[in-house]
């Protein structure tokens, strides 16, 4: 003998609208602004071998595959969209270190990227490329 307790199951109403949740008062912190906070163009280079696992100026361990960068003045945790002007590829990186050095800056290099970021932008063979930097969020 089988007993069915249909009254225990929730009643489904087909195509019933879901009540709206509360309206957000501010966008989430990961939302990019409609316009960049700052834009610069120049050269990008990338970290050479030997930095993997070393502690960066911000105190985090360097991961060559992460989307991270070194910038001489931007606050740590600043989020930057980097566009390779040669091929249009774009990535978003976070500043975790200081660099490039002053002599390299004098050559027009604005930012040092992880090798993973450089690979995604498609310039590991050339070592440098022209880029546009767009600050999406300032760090601390």
End-to-end CA distance of the chain: 68
Residue-wise pLDDT tens digits, 9-43: 444 444 544 444 444 333 334 555 679 999 999 99
Residue-wise pLDDT tens digits, 66-122: 999 999 999 999 999 999 999 999 999 999 999 999 999 999 999 999 999 999 999
Q: Classify 7 as helix, strand or coil.
A: helix
- Whole-angstrom distance, CA of residue 129 vs CA of residue 127: 7
What's the whole-model pTM score?
0.76
User: What is the model's pLDDT at position 119?
Assistant: 97
- Whole-angstrom distance, CA of residue 117 vs CA of residue 68: 7
Strand partners, 83: 90, 132
35-137 carries CATH number 2.40.40.10: yes
């Amino acid at each position: 003998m089988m007993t069915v307790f249909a009254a225990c199951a929730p009643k489904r109403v087909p195509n019933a609208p879901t009540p709206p949740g509360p309206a957000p008062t501010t966008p989430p912190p990961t939302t990019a602004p409609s316009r960049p906070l700052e834009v610069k163009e120049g050269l990008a280079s990338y970290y050479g071998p030997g930095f993997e696992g070393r502690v960066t100026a911000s105190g985090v361990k360097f991961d060559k595959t992460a989307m991270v960068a070194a910038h001489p003045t931007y606050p740590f945790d600043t989020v930057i969209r980097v566009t390779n002007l040669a091929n249009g590829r774009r990535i978003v990186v976070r500043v975790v270190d200081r660099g490039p050095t002053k002599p390299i800056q004098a050559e027009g290099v604005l930012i040092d990227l992880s090798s993973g970021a450089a690979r995604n932008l498609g310039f590991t063979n050339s070592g440098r490329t022209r880029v546009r930097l767009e600050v999406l969020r300032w760090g601390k």
